[in-house]
Structure 1
Amino acid sequence: MYRVLLVDDESLTLDYLKMAIPKQDPDWEIAGACLDGIQALEWFESHSADLVLTDIKMPEMSGLELCERLHRRNPEQKIVILSGHDEFKFAQQAIQCSVADYLLKPISLTELKAVLQKIKSSLQTERAEELAYHSLLEMSEDGKKQIAARFIRAMIENSNVEVKSLYPLIHRMKISLIEGAGVMLLLSLDEDVLLGNGIQASDIPVFRYMLYRLTLEYTEQAALGSWVTLDQEENTLLLLSDDDTEAVEDQALHIYQQVSQLMLEHAGLSISAGVSGLLFDVMEAEAAYRQAYTALCGRLFFTAGAYYTTKEISSEIQNKITRLNHYVSSLHSALLDKNSLARQLALQSIIQLLPGKTETEALRFGLYWIKGLAKSAQAWPPDRLNRAASALCACKSSDQDTIQAFYTSAASFLLPSEEEKADRNKSENGIVSQAEHYIHTNYAQPISLALVAEKIDVSPNYLSSLFHKELGESYSKYVTRVRMEHAKRIMKENPGLRIYEIVNQVGYVSVKHFSYVFKQLFGVTPGEYQQSLKAD
Structure 2
Amino acid sequence: MYNLLIVDDEPLTREYLKHNIPLFHDKWTVTAEAADGYEAWELLKHKRFDLIITDIKMPEMDGIELCKKVSEQFPQQKVVILSGHDEFSLAKEAIRYGVHSYLLKPLVKDELIATLEKITTDLMKETSEELIYRTMRNVSEDTKHQVVKQFLKAVVTDSSVEIKALYPLFYRLKVNLIEAEAMIMIVDLDQEKILERDVPISDISIFRFILHKVTTEIVEETGAETVFFDDDQNTVLLITGECEEELLHKCRLLHDSIYAEIKKNTGITIVSATGSAESDVLQLYASYQKARKIMKARLLHPDLSLFSYKESCGALPDIGELDKAMASIKSGMLDSNEMAISMAVKNYVNLIPQPATHASVMKFGVHLIRSIAGVHAETLSELIETALHMLKGHRYTTRDELLLEDASALFRDIVKQLTKSHPSHPDPQNDLDLVTQAKAYIYAHYSEPLSLALIAEKVGVSSSYLSNIFHKKMNEPYIKFLTKIRMEQAAKQLKALPLEKVYDVAERVGYLSVKHFSHMFKQYFGIPPGEFQEMHTSSKSEGANG
TM-score (normalised: structure 2): 0.64
In the other structure, the counterpart of 2:237 is 238
In 2, are the aligned partners of 1:276 and 1:310 still within 8 Å (CA)?
Answer: yes
CA distance in 2 between partners of 1:284 and 1:13 (Å):
61
1:382, distance to aligned residue in structure 2 (A): 1.9
Is residue 2:306 matched to residue 1:307? yes
Distance between the aligned counterparts of 1:204 and 1:281, measured in 2?
34
Offset of 1:123 from its aligned partner?
A: 2.1
Matched, 1:404 2:408: yes
User: 2:158·2:452 contact (CA, 8 Å) conserved in 1?
Assistant: no
Q: Which amino acid in structure 2 is aligned with residue 410 of structure 1?
A: I
Give the equivalent residue in structure 2 for 1:173.
Answer: 173
Asked if the contact 1:84–1:106 (Cα under 8 Å) also holds between the matched residues in 2, the reply is no
Which is further off, 76-85 or 196-205? Answer: 76-85
Change (3 A) 1:149 1:458: farther
Partner of 2:261: 262
Question: In the alignment, residue 333 of structure 2 is paired with which amino acid?
Answer: L
SS, match of residue 413 in structure 1: helix
- Counterpart Cα distance in 2 of 1:355 and 1:452: 41
- The one-letter code sitting in structure 1 at the alignment partner of 2:190 is D
Identity %: 31
- 1:159–1:454 contact (8 Å) kept in structure 2: no
What's the offset of the Cα at 1:354?
A: 1.8
State the 1:306 CA deviation: 1.9
Code of the residue aligned with 2:453 in structure 1: it is A
Distance change (3 Å), C-alpha of 1:71 and 1:314: same
Q: Distance in 2 between matches of 1:390 and 1:26?
A: 76
C-alpha distance in 2 between matches for 1:64 and 1:333: 80
Over 3 Å counting, the alpha-carbon distance change for 1:121 and 1:464 in structure 2 is closer
User: Could you tell me which residue of structure 2 aligns to residue 495 of structure 1?
Assistant: none
Pair 1:351-2:349 in alignment? yes
Distance 1:452 1:5, change over 3 A: same
Q: CA RMSD, aligned part only?
A: 5.0
Range with bigger deviation, 225-234 or 114-123? 114-123
Distance 1:385 1:443 in 2: 42
Q: Return closer, same or farther for 1:197/1:58 CA change in 2, 3 Å cut-off.
A: same
Residue 105 to residue 323, structure 1, CA distance change in 2 (3 Å): farther
Quote the Cα distance in structure 1 between the aligned partners of 2:173 and 2:219: 22
SS at structure 1 position matched to 2:227: strand
141-150 or 92-101: which moved more? 92-101
The number of aligned residues is 453
In structure 2, the CA distance between the partners of 1:259 and 1:19, relative to structure 1 (3 Å rule), is: same
Q: Which residue of 1 aligns with 2:453?
A: 450
Supply the distance in 2 between the matched residues of 1:245 and 1:330 (Cα, whole angstroms). 36
Q: 1:37·1:66 contact (CA, 8 Å) conserved in 2? A: yes
Corresponding residue for residue 335 of structure 1: 333
Q: 1:365 to 1:67 in 2, by over 3 A?
A: farther
Write the letter of the residue equivalent to 1:409. D
Match of 1:145 in 2: 145
SS of the aligned residue for 1:332 comes to helix
* DSSP-derived class of the 2:418 partner: coil
- Whether the aligned pair in 2 keeps the contact of 1:190 and 1:304 (CA below 8 Å) is no
Residue 227 of structure 1: how far off its partner (Å): 0.8
CA contact (8 A) 1:377 1:462 kept: no
Maintained 8 Å contact 2:14/2:33: yes
SS of structure 2 residue aligned to 1:225: coil
Distance 2:266 2:134 in 1: 43
Q: 1:252 to 1:106 in 2, by over 3 A?
A: closer
SS in 1 for 2:419: coil
AA aligned opposite 1:391? M
Q: Is the 8 A contact 1:395 1:402 kept in 2?
A: no
Paired residues of 1:6 and 1:34 also in contact (CA < 8 A): yes
Q: Is the 2:325–2:348 Cα contact (8 Å) retained in structure 1?
A: yes
Q: Which residue of 2 aligns with 1:158?
A: 158
Q: Tell me by how many angstroms 1:290 deviates.
A: 3.6
Q: Give the letter for the 1:328 counterpart.
A: M
Paired position in structure 2 for 1:132:
132
Q: What is the CA-CA distance between 1:363 and the residue it aligns to?
A: 2.5
Is this contact kept in 2: 1:331–1:343, CA < 8 A?
yes
| Distance in 2, Cα, partners of 1:304 & 1:98 | 71
In 2, Cα distance between the equivalents of 1:339 and 1:80? 81
Aligned CA distance change for structure 1 residues 74 and 148 (closer, same or farther; 3 Å):
farther
Letter in 1 for 2:413: S
* CA separation of 1:464 and 1:237: change in aligned 2, threshold 3 A: closer
| Residues 242-285 of structure 1: CA deviation (Å, up to 9, x unaligned) | 56987764543333233223323443321111234655664553
Q: 1:82 to 1:197 in 2, by over 3 A?
A: same
Residue identity matched to 1:128: S
Which amino acid in 2 is paired with 1:415? Answer: T
Instruction: Tell me what 1:534 maps to.
Output: none
1:362 maps to what in 2? 361
Distance 1:251 1:449 in 2: 28
2: CA distance between counterparts of 1:442 and 1:7?
56
Contact 1:376 1:459 in 2 (8 A): no
Q: Deviations over 1:330-382 (max 9, x none)?
A: 43344234344443443333223222243322332232233233335657332
C-alpha spacing 1:93/1:415, structure 2 compared with 1 (3 Å): farther
Q: List aligned pairs for 1:415-494, cutoff 5 A.
A: 415-416=419-420, 445=441, 450-451=453-454, 460-461=463-464
* Separation in 1, partners of 2:174, 2:470: 39
Q: Secondary structure at the match of 1:3?
A: strand
Q: Which has the higher contact order (CA 8 A, sep 6+)?
A: 2
Report the equivalent of 2:186: 186
| Alignment gaps of 5+ in structure 1 | 433-437, 466-473, 477-536
Structure 1 residue 115 displacement after superposition:
6.2
Report the CA distance between 1:94 and its aligned residue: 11
Contact persistence 1:395–1:406 (CA under 8 A): no
Instruction: Specify whether residues 455 and 123 from structure 1 end up closer, same or farther in structure 2 by C-alpha distance, changes over 3 A only.
Output: same
In 2 relative to 1, CA 333–206 (structure 1 residues): closer, same or farther, beyond 3 Å?
farther
What does 1:197-276 align with in structure 2 at a 5 Å threshold?
197-220=197-220, 222-241=221-240, 249-276=248-275
